[in-house]
Structure 1
Amino acid sequence: MEKNKWNQLILAVSLAANVMVIVTWAITKQLGNSIIDPAYLFKNMIAAAVIVGGNIALGWLYHRRRNHFFIGSVHFIVALMSFIGVGVWAKWFPADLSIIITSVIMFIFIFAIIWIAHYFYWKNQIKKMNEKLS
């Protein structure tokens, strides 16, 4: 599939997901006292939008910069700050210092696992490309 087709597919799926969330919020708002509290749903929609917006900004940064240490550092800081900030604001976890420290440690651990997996994946891909060139 061409790159343009993938971009169109990703855009279509993103728009469909946003429409679905907005429709769900509107229905719960109209129904009043339902299973999903409209205020809670709206707060989580805003939280998700902040996280997605941060990821879009990081994508732009990846496209513009070539210093991988800088990009990785900024990615880590933005992801961590948005996770903690949005998590406390949306009440995904309480604003207790011990819980925030535990959350940061878990975030660092998960981030490191994903980073190491990507490192070895791309190292293997580069090795294959170099073998094809030889």
Structure 2
Amino acid sequence: MKTFIIRSFIGIFFGGFIAVLITNLNILFGGFEMIDGPLFLKNSIGSILCGWFFTVSPMYFENRNLKLSQQTILHFLTVMILYLILALAIGWIPFNIINILLTLLISIVVYTIFWVAFYLYFKNQARKLNDDLKKL
């Protein structure tokens, strides 16, 4: 529970930081002199919620009772379902089948790339640790 709370705070603060950073960059480089308050509020809440569930959902990978394939499927489904609901509700993704399918396709490709990269990284770290243990 302590880990969940700590990660929740990290995600919430990171999401808020990203929202403010993107807004400031739009003001600086987009030529805006004023921002739309309700739009800022809606996008900030969306960013905060994304930050929260993207930092909490990797806790599946710490559950040793699940196989790696189960952890991966649960994580992907959790993130995708929550993100799609949020993005469609806020308006980040237009509500039509083509945009939803395109978002799913891009998400699957990006998720796969990141998953393989992390898998290879940790596999390499495990190999290094095993090599070091053999030298003892």
User: Which residue identity is paired with 1:97?
Assistant: I
TM-score, length basis structure 2: 0.69
Query: Matched residues in 1 for 2:124 and 2:60: separation?
Result: 25
Quote the residue 2:26 is aligned against.
none
Give matches, 1:66-105, under 5 Å: 66=64, 67=66, 68-105=68-105
Q: Which one has more relative contact order, counting CA pairs under 8 Å at least 6 apart?
A: 2
What's the CA shift for 1:69? 2.6
CA RMSD of aligned residues (A): 2.7
Over 3 Å counting, the alpha-carbon distance change for 1:98 and 1:110 in structure 2 is same
Contact 1:50/1:82 (<8 A) preserved: no
Quote the residue 1:37 is aligned against.
36
Quote the residue 2:129 is aligned against.
129
Query: Matched residues in 1 for 2:57 and 2:107: separation?
Result: 18
User: Which residue identity is paired with 1:115?
Assistant: W
Structure 2 residues not aligned, in runs of 5+? 1-5, 24-32
User: Which residue identity is paired with 1:100?
Assistant: I
User: How many residue pairs are counted as aligned between the two chains?
Assistant: 111
Calculate percent identity across the aligned residue pairs. Answer: 23
TM-score, length basis structure 1: 0.70
Provide, for residues 58-97 of structure 1, a one-character-per-residue CA deviation record: whole Å limited to 9, x for no partner: 244444x112332221110111112211211121121011
What's the CA shift for 1:45? 1.6
User: Which residue identity is paired with 1:52?
Assistant: G
Quote the residue 1:111 is aligned against.
111
Quote the residue 2:27 is aligned against.
none
Structure 1 residues not aligned, in runs of 5+? 1-6, 25-33
